[in-house]
């Protein structure tokens, strides 16, 4: 098994409708990070939460 297969199995895909929200969070993070490093870290955590919220794991029923 190579590294690429391992990474693909580990990372969960993002739901398609979540991309605009993730992009907005990332843009705000970069914008506010330009002015303050504390705001950058707070917004980076919010962006990570947004990515986590819109993940689309394989459902097992």
pLDDT for 11-53, tens place per residue?
Answer: 888 999 999 999 999 999 999 999 999 999 999 999 999 999 9
Cα–Cα nearest to 31, from 18, 47, 20, 17: 47
pLDDT score, position 61: 78
CA–CA gap between residue 56 and residue 15 (Å, rounded):
5
The whole model's pTM is what? 0.78
- Please say whether the beta carbons of 50 and 26 come within 8 A: no
pLDDT score, position 32: 96
3-state SS, residue 14? strand
- Per-residue pLDDT band at 3 (split at 50, 70, 90): confident
CA–CA gap between residue 36 and residue 51 (Å, rounded):
22
- Per-residue pLDDT band at 1 (split at 50, 70, 90): low
């Amino acid at each position: 098994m190579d590294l690429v297969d391992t990474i693909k199995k580990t990372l969960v895909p993002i739901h398609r409708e979540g991309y605009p929200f993730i992009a907005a969070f990332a843009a705000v993070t970069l914008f506010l990070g330009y002015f303050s490093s504390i705001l950058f870290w707070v917004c980076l955590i919010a962006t990570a939460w947004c990515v986590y919220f819109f993940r689309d794991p394989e459902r097992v029923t």
